[in-house]
Structure 1
Amino acid sequence: MKRVPLFFAILLLATTIIAQQEPDLVTDRPDQTESALVVPAWRLQIETGIAKEWVNILDEESEGRTRYGTTLLRFGLFDFMELRLGSDLLAHRYKVPAGAERNEFGGSPIGIGMKFKLVEEMGRTPDIALITSWQIPNTGNAVYSSDKWHHSFVFSFAHTLYEGWGLGYNLGYEFAGAFDNSTFKYSVVGAYSWTERWTLFIEGYGAKISKLPWDFRADAGLTFLLFHNFQLDFSAGAGLTNISPVAFVSGGFSWRIPR
């Protein structure tokens, strides 16, 4: 009768030791600001979820968009580099003034990329990483796909401010086959972890496509570290300009697969 409690005690001790040996789980979701850290070498991390956004929901030309399985796969190739693969499954609903409704459903183009750890945080010098990625032509639904390669790069910075407090920010640029269709992006996020499991973040971000107005948005959310390698997340936000979504919500999880 004493073997069962002993077995669970040994299992709990082994799990605790493994967790202590594991690096902290750092994810690139649910906020828009990419982290400045890479996945540990030879580890696979899955980050996925569902997102819903509404555009002009108070007038006749309402529009809703849902992203199912907003999935990013991250694989640590070296201590300073990871490989990235991502895509979304999109459902788009349009309502026109005449009352008719049109729906689109399909996958977004497949994105491939790499993240490089450039600088380790030391004093006032932040963690710095570079993310470079490509969107493969003609790999998604015809409505969402393009026949041109889209190339983007993002510089990611992260500061540890105080105990439990952190600040991150990104600056990026996407080249979509022509300079008049290119996009400048930025984001700034502040985060506070009041326990080892719970983190709250508040974020502002935006984008400027050539010849179009700025698209400014803000969001906030929570993450909960259920296990040392498994995290749940929820976020919600709103657009701040006329071309932005009225509101959006998101939920999902991140899992770093054990060895």
Structure 2
Amino acid sequence: MKSKILFFALFLYSTIFAQEKEIEPIQTDRPDQTETPSLTPKGMLQVETGFSFQKNDVNSKTNLLPSTLWKYGFNENFELRLITEFASEKFNVETITGFNPILVGCKIKIAEENGVFPKTSFIGHVSLPNVASTAFITDYFAPEFRFVMQHTLSEKFSLSYNLGAEWDGFTPEPTFIYTVATGYSITEKLGSYIELFGFAPQNNEANHNFDGGITYLISTNFMLDLSSGFGISENAPDNYFALGFSFRL
């Protein structure tokens, strides 16, 4: 009986190991602000979760405890997405906690990288105004979208960038988004990036930010991350720090 159990355990381990060898290492949309054009493999569930601590200014802070992106690979060209966030917002001595409106959406593959043309995908979400804690309910459905692109510069370097817009659920004015990130593979398991990103409301001044971070690939299907950044324009948040992990099944 013991020999049969041992044989089954070895068979199960070898099967999982073989499956990991057959697929590319996990690609995530965190920890940077620049989303990846890579999709979750067909039939797999990918979970990307993390905790962020942001100082907006002297009087206010915004923490996400945690923020989680749930992704399912529907096929090679389409990924289903769900975003859940538990937020804590502090202004002076008052603190509000609860769930932000849930976002549902998808990622759609547009093109593979071909010479000077980048690997490209489209990401779209819409937030559900009433699927939130009372303090965070919005007035309207709030869409957001991005075109996400990536160039392979060498075996170790990559260049990624996003362009898009989002709405806050209260006003009809959009906020335009840009991100530019350079990734560098220090080793096969250890990666790093630096990034410039910003938000440009239609009727207000844009804010610009700089950040950087590292990722560590525990296995083909499990990754840890650590990042930090700061505002480089006067109206941007002062700084933030984030840590998290991602896995797929």
The residue type paired with residue 236 of structure 1 is S
Q: Is the Cα–Cα contact under 8 Å of residues 139 and 170 in structure 2 kept in the other structure?
A: no
Match of 1:48?
49
SS of the counterpart of 2:135? coil
* Residue 71 of structure 1, aligned match among 52, 68, 73: 68
Gaps of 5+ in 1: 96-100
Match of 2:37?
36
SS of the counterpart of 2:72? strand
Q: Is the Cα–Cα contact under 8 Å of residues 180 and 211 in structure 1 kept in the other structure?
A: no
* Deviation of 1:228 (Å): 1.0
User: Normalized against structure 2, the TM-score is what?
Assistant: 0.92
Match of 1:148?
140
SS of the counterpart of 2:153? strand
Match of 2:224?
232
The residue type paired with residue 252 of structure 1 is G
* Deviation of 1:179 (Å): 7.1
* Deviation of 1:70 (Å): 0.4
* Deviation of 1:67 (Å): 0.5
Q: Is the Cα–Cα contact under 8 Å of residues 179 and 210 in structure 1 kept in the other structure?
A: no
Gaps of 5+ in 2: 1-5
Structure 1 CA distance for aligned equivalents of residues 43 and 19 of structure 2: 16
The residue type paired with residue 81 of structure 1 is F
The residue type paired with residue 74 of structure 1 is K
SS of the counterpart of 2:66? strand
Identity among equivalent pairs (%): 32
Structure 1 CA distance for aligned equivalents of residues 207 and 182 of structure 2: 20
Q: Is the Cα–Cα contact under 8 Å of residues 139 and 169 in structure 2 kept in the other structure?
A: no
The residue type paired with residue 24 of structure 1 is P
The aligned runs of 1:89-238 (5 Å cut-off) are 89-95=86-92, 101-176=93-168, 181-238=173-230
The residue type paired with residue 230 of structure 1 is F
How many residues of Structure 1 are paired with residues of Structure 2 in the alignment?
Answer: 247
Match of 1:98?
none
SS of the counterpart of 1:162? coil
Q: Is the Cα–Cα contact under 8 Å of residues 38 and 81 in structure 1 kept in the other structure?
A: yes
Structure 2 CA distance for aligned equivalents of residues 110 and 173 of structure 1: 18
Structure 2 CA distance for aligned equivalents of residues 179 and 254 of structure 1: 34
SS of the counterpart of 2:134? coil
Assess, with a 3 A threshold, how the Cα gap between structure 1 residues 129 and 81 changes in structure 2: closer, same or farther.
same
Structure 2 CA distance for aligned equivalents of residues 106 and 185 of structure 1: 25
Structure 2 CA distance for aligned equivalents of residues 104 and 177 of structure 1: 19
Structure 1 CA distance for aligned equivalents of residues 199 and 185 of structure 2: 28
Structure 2 CA distance for aligned equivalents of residues 140 and 15 of structure 1: 38
* Deviation of 1:6 (Å): 9.8
* Deviation of 1:63 (Å): 1.3
Assess, with a 3 A threshold, how the Cα gap between structure 1 residues 179 and 102 changes in structure 2: closer, same or farther.
closer
Structure 2 CA distance for aligned equivalents of residues 142 and 211 of structure 1: 28
Post-superposition CA distance 1:114-149 (Å, at most 9, x none)? 100000112222100001110111222233321201
* Residue 86 of structure 1 pairs with residue 106 of structure 2: no
The residue type paired with residue 103 of structure 2 is G
